[in-house]
Structure 1
Amino acid sequence: MSDVTAGSAGPPTFCPTLHYRDAKAAIKQLTEGLGFTRTALYESEDGAVLHAELSFGNGVVMLGSKGAGGAYEEALGAGGPVGVYATVPDPDAHHRRAEQAGVEIVTPPTDQDYGSREYTARDLEGNLWTFGTYAPAAPKA
């Protein structure tokens, strides 16, 4: 998707990780509805998503299917919905794409007091994704 802010070179220094009851549906919604690009997908023999990576700008979200087991999933427990913020240069255009794809919109594009224009969407399993113009400053070396 061409409206994603280009970032610094190199891999991201942190990646949100999410587990979904239906990881395949999540991947479809995030790529088709919200403009992510699938960069990796590893499935078990029964088709469960063991690990997937979706990129957006210079960020990456990693996700997998709930019920795959392991220490990480056990530590997450029931884990509730999370919120993730992604920077885009044109939140209105991004919002139109999401709305056309049937993504649930929680708040429409709105100008914020701190100078950002942003909107929030909810994915199929309740996680909130906010897309806006706010870009936190990178730490100084």
Structure 2
Amino acid sequence: MPPMAKDTTSTVTPCLRYRDANRAIAWLCDVFGFEKRLVLPGPYGDVLHAQLTFGNGMIMLASASVQDHFGKLIRMPDEIGGMQTQTTCLTVRDADAVYQRVKRANAEIVLDMVDAEPGMRGFTCRDLEGHVWSIGEYDPWQTTD
């Protein structure tokens, strides 16, 4: 059977909503190391659509105030008791360096730094609006023997 996925850089792209998307973009770039690829401003200082890259991955985001068909499906973490229906994993070279930036940004660490086995150093935190991120050196694309 031929592959279903399109031949592109990344075939899965998480999409998030933020009340203050402009502030979130700056935070995600400063703290986690994302880079802006595209930011489409809305008419009221909001963000209609943004693309942030990290290595060969990407997230897309928009302001929570953008109530298009997709936006009506989304609830902010604080609207559901801080719970999550999915989280985003970020594979980094140096989990300790990102951990220090997260601590300096006063983000909530929900699962502290752990070493599960070689190559699996990481931690879990909330971003500035409560989305949960697992950040670590584990690379799920590497095969193990």
Aligned CA RMSD, in angstroms, stands at 2.3
Match for residue 71 of structure 1 among 69, 72, 76: 69
Unaligned runs of 5+ in 2: 1-6, 78-83
Between the aligned partners of 1:79 and 1:27, the Cα distance in structure 2 is: 16
Maintained 8 Å contact 1:32/1:101: no
Match for residue 24 of structure 1 among 8, 22, 25: 22
Equivalent pairs counted in the alignment come to 130
Percent of aligned positions with the same letter in both sequences? 38
Match for residue 36 of structure 2 among 35, 38, 54: 38
After the TM superposition, which residues 1-141 of structure 1 pair with which residues of structure 2 at under 5 Å, given as runs? 10-74=8-72, 76-78=73-75, 80=77, 81=84, 82-112=86-116, 116-137=120-141
Unaligned runs of 5+ in 1: 1-8
Q: Point out 4+ residue stretches in structure 1 off by more than 6 angstroms.
A: none
Maintained 8 Å contact 1:86/1:131: yes
One-letter identity of the residue aligned with 1:97: R
TM-score by length of structure 2 reads: 0.79
Between the aligned partners of 1:77 and 1:128, the Cα distance in structure 2 is: 15
Residue 104 of structure 1, CA deviation: 2.5
TM-score by length of structure 1 reads: 0.81
Higher relative contact order (CA 8 A, sep 6+): 1
